[in-house]
Structure formats: C-alpha cells, structure tokens
Amino acid sequence: MRKPIIAGNWKMNKTIAEAVELVRAMRRDLNAIESVESVVCPTFIALPAVADALAGTKIAVGAQNMFWAEQGAYTGEIAPGMLAGLCQYVILGHSERRQFFGETDEGVNKKAHAAFKHGLVPIIAVGENLAQNQAGETDQVVRTQVTGALQGLSREQVASLVIAYEPIWAIGTGLNAEPAGAARVIGVAIRGAVAELYDEATAQAVRIQYGGSANAANIADFMAMPDIDGALVGGASLKADSFVEMVKATARVRG
C-alpha cells in the first residue's frame, strides 16, 4: 500500500555540472523501476539543471531545505514559491540543519505548512543523538519532534508526507542502526505518535524512511522490515551505481 521511497540527500556536494552528470548516469535505470519512488535532492543552485535533466522521467526532485516566509528581507534564504515547479519534495529539519543552523521543531512546523501551501511534499527528518540513545530517550525524542513538526497539519497532509527516522549517531558514521531496532522506533514510536495525534488510518498511510549509513550492502535488510518505507541516503547517494543498486534492491525486496 505504501510505495517505498528512496531519496538521495546530496548535502553540500556536487557542482552543477557534476550534479547533471550524476543524474544522467542514473536516470535510465531509475526510471525503469516502477515499484519504488526515487528522489534526488541536490543543492539549490543545481535544482534547475537537475530538474531539466530529469524532465519526462518518473524520478522526483527534492530541495534540502527552504525558509517559511513568502518573500522579503531574509538574506541568503530561499522561499517555498521559488522551489515550486523545480521540485516536488523538500527535506525539512535534517539533523545537520538542527545542529549547525539552529533549526527547531517550531521552525520545521512553519516550514511544513509553507511547503504544503506551495504544493511541496515535506520529508521531515527526526532522530535522537548518541547520548539520548544511550539514556533510553529515543522514543520520547522522536515523539516530541514528530508532534512539534506536525502541529496544525490536516490528516490528508500528514498522510501524504514523508518522515525520515535518522538516528544522528548513524549519519555519516558507517554505523547504521540495527534494522529491527529502527523498525521498532518507526513502527511503535513514530507511527504510534501519528496514530495518537490523528488516527490509525493516517498512521498507516504516512511513509517513514530510515536514514543513517544506509547503503547498497545493508538496504535489503532495512527493506525486509515492513514498517520501513524506504531510505534517506547521504553518502551512498553520491555515486550512480550505489544509489541505483539501493533502488533496485528495494524493488527486489518490496516490489
């Protein structure tokens, strides 16, 4: 019922030329896979060229962030209306945004409302840090983040968006979470929070990805968990062969 979604978060990598080269190398293979949705999230400046290179394919494009205001005196920021037409998705609240740029659940919530206003689907990232994990606070942390991010959104909006569960200690470290453990956080804590805030149908509709050192070698183990609806991929999304293999492996397990 929930179509798996594998999204590549390129972070601050790739020039415009390199970004176009990467999508050209992947587009034929990715477009041939029906049962999995693929998304690439380049930097803002590469969005137009990447969108162009993917025109006419089923591969979706996402931004990595945006501001919530419509326009105005916000030096260095990008408005939601400027992204409309260039991409379908926008990652909101990635832990690197929270850690290095001071993003809060309240800000993520404003951005989620602004995204829907402009027809963009948020991919909302949540996850605990190592200390919280070791203190047994994971469920509480992700519940608080999910509750804060979804404030005031309608059932339909929540059912249509994507949540990425990304334990911070697993991001870029090569230490991926154990698939069964990630599936428990996703199925019990996150889907449970959505069910409490909305209802069971909404909780069953929302797609929830895993993120944090997911790669071609471990993706099948994550996708073997029915509660995990795909992955938000950093490092392994920067090479055509590994990203394509992740989407193919997902199709093999779930297609």
Name the residues that contact ligand PGA, by CB under 6 A.
9, 166, 171-172, 211-214, 232-236
Whole-Å CA distances, 81 to 77, 87, 89, 103, 188: 12, 11, 13, 20, 35
H or E element, residue 50: helix 47-53
Question: Residue 178 Cβ, how far from ligand PGA at the closest point, in Å?
Answer: 15
In this chain, which residue has its C-beta nearest to ligand PGA? 234
231 strand-pairing partners: 6, 210
Task: Tell me the two tokens of residue 194.
Answer: 């959505």
Sequence-distant (6+) residues with CB within 8 A of 227 are 183, 186, 187, 191, 208
Instruction: Report d(CA 142, CA 211) in Å as an integer.
Output: 14
- Which of 37, 94, 96, 128 is the catalytic position? 94
Is residue 94 flagged as an active site residue?
yes
**Which residue, 122 or 198, is less far from ligand PGA as judged by CB?**
122
Instruction: Report the nearest approach of ligand PGA to the CB of residue 40 (Å).
Output: 13
- Measured from the CB atom, is 171 or 185 closer to ligand PGA? 171
Q: Is 18 a catalytic residue?
A: no
φ/ψ of 63, rounded to 5, equals -95, 165
Smaller CB separation from ligand PGA, 230 or 235 = 235
Residue 133 CB, shortest distance to ligand PGA, in Å, is: 15
Nearer to ligand PGA, 1 or 12 (CB): 12
Nearest approach in angstroms of CB 95 to ligand PGA is 7
Active site residues: 94, 166
